[in-house]
Amino acid sequence: MNFVRIILFRALLVVISVIVFSSNSGEVFAEDWTGNFSIFKGSKGLDKGDWEPVEGQSELGLQMDFRKDGWPINGMIEILYSEEDKLTSAGGLDVEILEINAGVRKILVASLGEDVLPDFLEIHPFVGGGLSLTRAEMTRINVVRETEDDYGFGIWLDVGCYLTIFEAFNVGLALKYTDVDLDLFGTRSAGGTHFGLTIGFHY
């Protein structure tokens, strides 16, 4: 799925362009808006019964949340891409999955442990959820090469935290669950458990 890499690359270019424009004009990230942009790197665990031997996949993503003053929760958008391939005695199997998630995220504004942390560190837990558009492609290689792809809609839920440094830079942890069924040589759950690290900035 070369188009997945193109989507991720273009999304990163859009974010970089926004940052550059905002630094020059001061109009995009206005003072009454706040949020976080992060790169996600981790793994995705799929149902072993549906996906063995490629149930464990490496995953890369981009995520952004945003909130205007007065809003009780942040809006959130995210792109996640995972892949894995294995060669066994029965043949080869290659799977790629793209998720585009949108929804809301509640971030604790007050920092945890602010009485004991140094002034330049803040810890902000979050919980979120929303809708997921998932597309997957599976290729089986035995005597012949067979490929099927499908897309569908599902849900996602996540928890995690941001460690904010100097009110500008973030590192964090994120745990997410997605649920969506696709038809790839039979019905399979293309959702799963996602866990990884995030790094980015707070504005």
User: How many Cα atoms are found within 13 Å in the side-chain-facing hemisphere of 66?
Assistant: 12
Task: Work out the percent of the chain whose per-residue pLDDT is above 70.
Answer: 85
- The pLDDT value recorded for residue 6 is 54
Q: What kind of fold does domain 2-202 have according to CATH?
A: Porin (2.40.160)
For the chain, what are the domain ranges?
Answer: 2-202
Confidence tier at 14 by pLDDT (50, 70, 90):
low
Residues in CB range of 124: below 8 A, 6 or more apart: 107, 108, 109, 111, 112, 161, 162, 164
Is the model's pLDDT at 146 over the cut of 60?
A: yes
Q: For residue 111, which amino acid is it? A: S
Residue 79, CB half-sphere, CA atoms under 13 Å: how many? 13
6 vs 33, more confident: 33
Cis before residue 125, ω within 30 degrees of 0? no
Does the structure show a pLDDT above 60 at 28? no
Query: Is residue 160 predicted with pLDDT exceeding 80?
Result: yes
H helices, E strands: number in the chain: 2, 10
**Per-residue pLDDT, 25:** 47
The verdict on pTM exceeding 0.85 is no
Kindly tell me if the per-residue pLDDT of 142 is higher than 90.
Answer: no
Which carries the bigger pLDDT value, residue 18 or residue 150?
150
> Where is 196: in which H helix or E strand?
strand 192-202
Q: Are 34 and 175 in contact (CB under 8 A)?
A: no
Q: In angstroms, what CA-CA distances link 180 with 8, 135, 184?
A: 21, 10, 12
Structure token pair of residue 140:
């089986």
What confidence category does residue 4 fall into, taking pLDDT thresholds of 50, 70 and 90? low
Q: What local confidence, expressed as pLDDT, does residue 7 receive? A: 57
The residues near 181 (Cβ < 8 Å, ≥ 6 apart) are: 152, 154, 187, 188, 189, 190
Query: What residues contact residue 174 under an 8 Å CB cut-off, 6+ apart?
Result: 40, 42, 158, 159, 160, 194, 195, 196, 197, 198
Q: What is the pLDDT of residues 89-132, one digit of tens each?
A: 778 899 999 999 999 999 998 777 777 788 889 999 999 999 99
Task: Compute φ and ψ for 47, nearest 5 degrees.
Answer: -65, 120
**Average pLDDT, integer, range 8-20:** 52
Q: What is the pLDDT of residue 12?
A: 54
Q: What is the pLDDT of residue 100?
A: 94
Whether the per-residue pLDDT at 10 is higher than 90: the answer is: no
Q: Give the percent of the chain with pLDDT over 90.
A: 68
Residue 20: the pLDDT is 45
